[in-house]
Structure 1
Amino acid sequence: MAGWEDHLTTYLRSVFSQETTIKQVIGVLMNLGVDSTQDLIYVAADDLAGALKPIEIRKVLTCINLRLEDDSSSLSTSHCEELSTLDDSCFSDSEDSASQRGPASHARSSASSSLPSSASTTESVGSGCSPLGENNWHYSFNIPWNKIPSTTKKLLEDGKRPSDSQRREVVRVLVAEILAVCNKPGKRHITEIARKMVLQYPTSFRDVIEGQVVGTGYDSLTKQFISRIDNYRRLQAKPARKRLPEDASPTDAKKTKDAYGCVNSDPVLPPGETKQMQKEKQEELLKMFMHKDKDAKKIERLMVETFPSQRRDIMSGPKDTEEILKDWPFLFQEN
């Protein structure tokens, strides 16, 4: 035995104790048409389903990806630059190109638990990710569990699942830390961080339905990270202004609209009104709600007068529905 079989066998022996199983795996791969290490890129889990058990398939894919990563470490510098540029694409590019790179590329972030020792550990805050050297920052990224609320951390340590709002809070905290390290993380970076979270607290974060692990076990967490980052970028993006002809009069210019068609997303306080006055009116509304005060006219007047504060709390981003309900309970009451 020589070539790709010999090298792959070395990895297989680390996860399989029976030589017969190793020979069976090599035989299946040869029957699939694998003739070289490069051919291993195209091996998918479905190709092995008829001959191996699910856990054995995952072990084989892990070994394949370790073999591919080991082989790629000996590539020339110019070739490594090409791979780094491709792998460091953002979400919009990574999903389009994933189908062209072959099935095995989807498993790289989840199949291997062995992390490269040469991963860069130095990151400048908010500086983004360079295509070389720093594109493996996700391997050395330390999840800031200490910044998560203590009640949520206690649930995780007890092996319990956090509520939806607690889970969103965890995602918000981690996204803030991720963007501080890399302002344009790729999907492979996010996937690895989600995998680490599930490994540390499997019963709290793993995707499970009726006792069965769904997919990789961290697909929903990955999608939640991506959605949060996309929303953050959307809020940060400034609306493009339409260029008017030089001879256009001021009346020709249309009023600029904010996102989602809203023309007044951040209303100013009325003349004579202060933030302190808004706070006092909010506290009065809270007292009325607690005492079940039914003075509808007064409630309506105070709600109208405190609209700027309500709008600012809703559009600020960090607060979820439960927090807004607690601060402005009459928003959720029918007239």
Structure 2
Amino acid sequence: MGLIEHLTSAVGVTNKEDLAFIERDDLQDHLTPIQCRKVLQAFKQRELNFKADTRQTTVPFSFLDPKPTDGHSQFTPPRTQPHSNGLSFTNTQNSWVSQFEIPWDKMPASLSQALLRGHRANPPDRRAMVRTVVAAMQKHCPNPNRAACVEIAKLIVSKYPLTFADTNEEGEQLGIGYYSLVNQLKTRVEHVNRNNVSDRIRRTRTTTELSTTTKTVRCKVDSYGCTNWQPKCLPEGETVDSLEDRRKNMVTIFQSAGPRVVDIPDIDNSMRLTYIYQRHMINSCPPPSTNEIEEQWPFLFTKRGLCAHFKTLTGIDICDRVGQALQAKGKRIIDFFQRQTQNRDIQCLLRDIESDTATMQHSRTSIAAVLLLMKHFLEKEDSIFILADVTTTKASIEKDMSLPATPRLIMLGNTFLSSTKWMVSIEGKVAYVLDEHLGFADALSVFFSCFYVFNIEYQETACATLELIQRFFVRINPEEGTKCTAKTGVSRKTGEVVKRKTTVINNRVSSFLRHLMEFEWKNSD
């Protein structure tokens, strides 16, 4: 799809004011990162220099560098000429947004108190605010588009972040911080216009074939949420040759002593110093297989080596973070589902949770919380978990089971809830066998770390559960979208292959977190 066609049909740009609302996610599939920055900078500068008039103006795409960068396919920007068929905009729908004022004086008294005190808005007040704001918006435009809702939501959250921003329990921002409010505003617009056919009419979108080209370059999803994805400087006192010597020495030690020696200080130190060397191989393009990585870095395929690498990569101690989160939040997730009207599958799982007392309470609660989330998101257990007999070995699993390419957490036990041993598979082979004394939190930590350490995208069949683990348990909350870029997916309701929407945060994740917070607010007394 051409860039201009993408902006008009997929993003919804209809006039020149809409250009100010374009974000990097809207361009990333069509431009290189540098080109994205140039486009956004030009649009911002254009907005600053804009003088209101009614003359038609063409989009200033000519500033883009048409020369391909190393490893990137060439992008040749379209050049529009006067009176051509190129994209042009006029002042239309969103010219009122910059002058729009939120009618705070019409809000409920309890909401006004929350604003003054910096407290979270309770759910009824938040809904009342949305209704009031949409009513005010419709005085300017009967059917505000999503771009207008984004700007209004951004305005509200920037003024009162403590009251309206999307945050987790720790006060950390979720994604862009105003995504759920955008959805509420747009949903309200669509609701009040449900019987107003003339105002609901939109221009038919142009359908295009999805790209099936193989990724040959690194994209931002590979570094998604990472703070140290590709370091540039060698450790002090080290050279390329010295790092290679350390790597060879670790391979020799592993071959003679096995993975148990990962605990010795010399291995810890060598793994820390060679981090830049490890990332250099993992981030190379085309990506290496896990077999190739394991041959060069065998200690990376131990729990200690993987989790230490994850901490350097993201700044997070994954085992502590996940363990504390499951302990603090697992029971509350179960309580949430127990007190809600649920579908038959969730009710059946809740009965199994209540009757299963064969394992330790903490592990069972943690496993149950994740399983309930998968049921809620209509995602099948085998998109994350694989159940195997407790006596099964690594060799027998690789021989008798067909393991998928994306990571799976292999649960050894009679049922998922009664599992007490764990393995993790990647690319059709068992990559990690966890020690018997480790619990489910350790197993989930290793499983989740694989996606970040090895630059693996979330499988579409489990993208909601994985993103919730990322945002709610691990608390990695980047603004730039999700770690699943699949263009198509299987509908959870119809079973048909459908086109997936690109969003800054998974809609189902955002809705669940908002409902969970509302539930806890109602039951806090």
TM-score by length of 2: 0.24
- Larger CA Rg, structure 1 vs 2: 1
TM-score (normalised: structure 1):
0.36
Instruction: Point out the structure with the larger helix share.
Output: 1
